[in-house]
Structure 1
Amino acid sequence: MSTGNGPFDPGPEGRATHLVLENTAGRVSLWPVWREVPAGWSVRFGPAPHAACAATLEPATRRTP
């Protein structure tokens, strides 16, 4: 069993470790910066810390001001 972080786990605090990708169908995905962006997807946000990327995926009604 691995004890390291997985590719979708938060990285070191404050480091730009993730992207938010979007495909042509409008679907979005949280993606690690070290992985190649798959064909058919483009960067919508980032690179940025995990928390900042994850916050862009939350529905606007769930965000707190």
Structure 2
Amino acid sequence: MGLLFGSLMIKALPRLPQIGDAVARFPNLGLSPAVAGLGFGIALLIGLLAGFVPALAAYRSKITDNLRTV
């Protein structure tokens, strides 16, 4: 979804009057597959860590202690 939005914005930015002049100076503005893959990999890693770390903490704690804090 982010890749699609990024591609659409790259195509839409030159058409905006305020931004079009500034973007027109960069004729080769684009998103290469290597950059897209790197961004996807970093986003995937951050997403996995953001889900794994709290899950691991919940797994190691006692259920009764967690229920008392709710």
TM-score, L = length of structure 1: 0.25
Q: Whose strand fraction is larger, Structure 1's or Structure 2's?
A: 1
Q: Whose helix fraction is larger, Structure 1's or Structure 2's?
A: 2
Give the greater-gyration-radius structure (CA): 2
TM-score, L = length of structure 2: 0.24
